[in-house]
Structure 1
């Protein structure tokens, strides 16, 4: 059968059609001097010239002025001729003068004798990729500047095994290590010894690996060995296919915040205790006043009864017992008033050293031979304004408590030191004198210390103490 239709294309015609149809690449010929000899559709789209506008002109027109001044067009042709190929990336110019980033390949074309007939030039527009790469690089640089500029947070990278891969100034300020000290070392060295022994560093990485994030507040160790309270976050870092490439670690020093919180809690507890003591003091003061008035009637009545009854030894003994009990009750109310700070103080200049020295014999008899009393009183101690009787009672209370704390005996030391300024212009008193009473007793645990000055709290057995001794001393001092 005879076929009719279009004639088949020659191989040369097929290649020409292929090249002229490509629009994503500029593919064209240069003569040996670098003059444009052919032009495809891709070249027209990318560079903006029609074939009639560019064929016959030197290809150097595509180069920027600075590249032409540097001789780059000639260098490209020489390299292609000498090495058989030239390849590079750089800025080029479109017809309208705008710049675009290109990948350029120039291959020499030779005849059968080896002489150069011209050059085949392929140009690809990579502007979008270049801009994206530049933007990424700029973003990375800005992020790096940001991280390096942070000093309040330790921000650094760990590799998959937990070794430090980067180190910012905040990490150096908080932890004390320079980059040369720490990069390449395992981050476990920031943990206290007991946490390392229990595997805490590995556990935190495992949680970050499985959950994507680990967060905690715990103690960490600086280079100098000191500890600080830290808020720690570890985030897992993966590549585009989900493979774990490391961890981002952010540490903040919260030691000061924790100390402030602790002081706030202590202040709240102190306020609660003060309010509680104030309430007890008000109740105690009110009861003591009323009870004191009743006792005054009882004591007065007993004294009148003693005068009017006939002399009788048995009745006299009963009256003595009743009077003694009433007087003890009156003494107790005075102590309660001292606790409530409602007792009037008779403030006079007091020589504290002379007062204490005058009490030593009485104290020794009250405490017994198993207690050795020592005094440390400086010479020429200035007078203070105080109630001498209440001061003696306070010292006696402290001494008796000290004796009870030393059942096998021991040393009781009463010392005095000046804590204030010089005497003022109008009296012979100084600002403050500190009197301390120290013993060698068994001491108190934390719970007892917290309650020691609370009214009616005592560690002694039933009938052996009212729990008002230290409360009275505190009330008198305040």
Structure 2
């Protein structure tokens, strides 16, 4: 019995190393991610235990992908176990699927990413989160933050290998103390969008001339968002955090039509900053942005449902569209209190 167990463990370890090296033999089939998640529901609930609430939000019109079903199951199990281990006191675990289009702009900034239509699988937890140093190493084989004997350090590197071998990409967003979201993009089974189709869609991005206050602590994201907004015709005031944002709100003599703010920042949250700015400029609209999915954000209690929200990574066209939509929406009702 012990020898058999040791043999199984060795075979499993070999499979994981082969997956990381992208050398595993695949048996790809046309499949729908939603079906696999639904079929594995019972197993996943058993894996996480009773103090974690599992919620699934599946896109009903999700297109099929071509992948090895056993490997997709392996991705789900590894990411769900990872999320469970990050929530020793319990919490919320959200599994989502969506159809997304990755544009030339996004692909050019991410090595090995091809533009086209993808099925996205997102797994979010409300756990301990990760530092930037940990995030930089999580896909390395044998890297683990778990105590000795608790993990091989191969779970996430296996996920990475499978995703890459299936022609996809993986993206992680995490803030210490605020949980983690893994987003996996797998190519949809259809002819990839041609370059001209992508460009035409990008050109259709709506324009405006209003003033937007951009609040984002990450300089790279702030710079990109500013560039997109200015190219779409907007005037942009930028702040790296709450104090700077409030200072700009009081000092700026002209109108501030929209506040575009990150949700999770080091000192004050996006929600707190938005409330402060609204108390000074009640007419300003607010649009939140975050690397977490909208479902995860509501589960985290960071935002209420019904607020305006855009997920990172966004394309120039999707940000321009969302900004226009929020600016043209009905003004929020003023509540007394």
Fold match by TM threshold 0.5: no
Bigger RCO of structures 1 and 2 (CA < 8 A, at least 6 apart): 2
Q: Which of the pair is proportionally richer in helix?
A: 1
TM-score, normalised to structure 1's length? 0.31
